[in-house]
Amino acid sequence: MSRSFTRLSLRAAALGALAISALAIAPARAAEDAVIIPAPTMDLQAADGVQTAILAGGCFWGVQGVFQHTAGVLNAVSGYAGGSKASANYTLVSTGATGHAETVEIKYDPKKISYGKLLQIFFSVVHDPTQLNRQGPDVGPHYRSAIFTNSDEQKKVAEAYIAQLNAAKVYKKPIVTKVGPLEAFYPAEAYHQDYLTLHPTQPYIAYNDIPKIENLKKIFAENYIAKPTLVSNAKVTN
């Protein structure tokens, strides 16, 4: 079942044809398997103060949900990156023509979790980094795998980790995740925030995203927290 199809009520009617088209070419199986991968051999030095990671891995509902259940994450906000401020809204981004990717801004405490560990979770349980411009049933460049960096150090760590994982051949295909500097992040509409927690039985969430939370708990037990850190309750804001 395509996320685009299940969310027609949230879109402008003009996007209905696009959603149905995406459903027609979606694979029968939507949920992605987690992959157990090694930790990065290069990581950032633990710094003082709140740090930020910006990650895109398909539908931001699931990406946000996973990191909201990750210890050390102070806030995880769904939004858009890669395009202009004028086009940073769900209706336009869903056309796939804005340059934006559905993205999550992660504020974290580097004393409790490292940037490298966030990337390990991202590549292992959040999404399949070998799928180009899609994740499961969701198709288009706005669902691409991307790491938006805010420093040269983040860029070096991300690129080194991708090279490490490709060399180790932990996936059957090469990683297609793009690494590039963040120009701007735009928070998504309020109804997208905390979506996994608020709608756990929604068919798309139950099939595609709840298994990601279960995989986080199983594979990264030491990093898992049962009570999610929701945007509505976050102590750190954007």
CA-based torsion, 155, 144, 104, 168: positive or negative: negative
Residue from 26, 25, 7 nearest 16 by CA: 7
- Judge contact between 103 and 141, C-beta under 8 A: no
Domain residue ranges in the chain: 3-233
Instruction: Judge contact between 76 and 211, C-beta under 8 A.
Output: no
Active site annotation includes 59: yes
Pairing of strands 145-149, 178-181: parallel
pLDDT score of 31: 57
Q: What's the average pLDDT block by block, 10 residues per block, for the chain (238 residues)?
A: 42 32 35 89 93 98 98 98 98 98 98 98 98 95 98 98 98 97 98 97 96 97 98 75
Cα–Cα distances (Å) from 163 to 125, 170, 177, in that order, read 19, 11, 11
Pick the CATH number of 3-233 from 3.30.450.40, 3.30.1060.10, 3.40.718.10, 3.30.1490.20: 3.30.1060.10
pLDDT at 43: 97
Cα separation, 196 vs 43, whole angstroms? 29
Kindly report whether the global pTM for this prediction surpasses the value 0.75.
Answer: yes
Q: Which of 59, 63, 93, 126 is catalytic?
A: 59
Q: How much is the pLDDT for 235? A: 73
In order of 22, 30, 139, 237, the CA distances from 27 in angstroms are 10, 7, 10, 37
Q: Is 106 exposed, middle or buried (0-12, 13-18, 19+ CB in 10 A)?
A: buried
